[in-house]
Amino acid sequence: MERIINVLRLNAYMPMKTNLKNIIMFFKNNEDKMDIIAFVDNTKDVQYGSEQMSDITFQIERKFLLKGKRNVNIQYVVITDNIVRDKEIGEAEKISFWLYDIYTSKIIAYENSLDEFDDLREQIESELMKMRQPDTAEKSSGLISFTLVNTILLLLNILIFVIMENKRSSLGEAAFVVYGGCEWRSIYYGGEYYRLLTAMFIHFGFDHLLSNMICLFVLGPEVEKIYGKIRYLLIYLISGIGAGVVSSLYYMNEGKLVYSAGASGAIYGIIGAMLVGLYFEKKIDGAHVMGRILMMILMVVFSEQINVDVDYIAHLGGLVVGFMSSALVSYIQYNRAKSS
């Protein structure tokens, strides 16, 4: 918040003490009125709704009324990752608030709220956008980047590989079929649809695992930062399942018996999501992202040189499904923000 604090200080605002979680307030004491601007971060574990905001407003007005200030103007800036949820704050009476949508980097003012407050809107919007961008040091830090969901996916893939290697020692290659590899006869005739999910966490060998995990390590954090944890996980899973569906349908139509496994379908979905992000998320560093995609492509080429049997159909299916699912998510979010 250092950027915001500097902007507000330049406009004669001072920090205001509060014990409210995820809320930071500033005030400017004028002769005839008190101007207060409050930043409410609704992207964290605690979200404030219309009732809580009404209570907060009442307490602030009461506090300054006791000090002889009858004219108290309060402007809330609600930082949100869900504008549908948080626009309901407008149902509360006497509350003027702006929503700052982290996905579009825009401030939205609803009909009951002020379009401007002490000439601060444009300045705040600009500084909030800068805060959401990765720092230069982070951009130049190479491949070292960890995010929660992507790290869990990496560890889960590695753990399942270790378990499968133990099973392989007793069952041989049959372990891939017994423990969830993607094979269209078992799915179509046996109704074992769970294989579409489990197959994306199974790998045929260490080289297969290594190349996929490097790709996931390079690309995953970028996509998770663009879409957020839940959307990233959904895109990953939908892409992996979609890759399995496309691959199974193709080889069933060809009459070929092919066993498929690996995270590559989901990873190609991540590439599709990243390409969509370059269009919708204007604030991300395009050159930085494209550099990571290029590195991933080189890794895939290397992987395909050491693995003769590559399921290109699954790769293509994952890419298309990832592109379409992330495009749908981004388009809906963009239009919600635009219509609001």
Q: What is the pLDDT of residue 339?
A: 53
Q: Residue 337's CB: how many other CB atoms inside 10 A? A: 17
Q: What is the pLDDT of residue 115?
A: 83
Q: What is the pLDDT of residue 283?
A: 45
Task: Give me the tens of pLDDT residue by residue for the chain, a chain 340 residues long.
Answer: 677 888 888 888 999 888 888 999 999 988 778 899 999 999 888 889 888 988 999 998 888 888 888 889 999 999 988 877 887 887 777 788 888 888 777 888 876 778 888 888 888 888 887 775 544 333 434 445 688 999 999 999 999 999 888 877 555 566 677 778 888 898 989 999 999 999 999 988 888 898 889 889 988 988 888 888 899 999 999 999 999 999 999 999 998 888 888 999 999 999 999 888 777 654 455 555 666 667 666 666 665 555 556 788 999 999 999 999 998 887 776 665 555 4
DSSP bridge pairs for 24: 39
Full 3-state SS string of 12-68: CCEEECCCCCCEEEEEEECCCCEEEEEEEECCCCCCCCHHHHHHHHHHHHHHHHCCC
Collapsing DSSP to helix, strand or coil, 38 comes out as strand
Q: Which residues contact 339 (CB under 8 A, 6 or more apart)?
A: none
Output the CA torsion sign for 2, 133, 327, 311.
negative
Long-range pairs of 134-137 with CB within 8 A, sequence gap ≥ 24: 134/225, 134/285
Which of 247, 260, 264, 330 is labelled catalytic? 264
Q: What is the pLDDT of residue 293?
A: 67
- Domains of the chain plus CATH, in order, are 2-132 (no CATH), 138-339 (1.20.1540.10)
Q: What is the pLDDT of residue 239?
A: 96
Q: Which residues contact 203 (CB under 8 A, 6 or more apart)?
A: 157, 161, 164, 209, 212, 261, 262, 263
8 Å CB contact between 155 and 163: no
Residue labelled with tokens 């159909």: 313
- Retrieve residue 242's tokens: 């979609």
User: Is 326 marked active-site?
Assistant: no
What is this structure's pTM?
0.60
Which of 260, 303, 315, 326 is labelled catalytic? 315
Q: 42 to each of 30, 45, 121, 303, how far by Cα in Å? A: 30, 8, 19, 42
User: Is 208 marked active-site?
Assistant: no
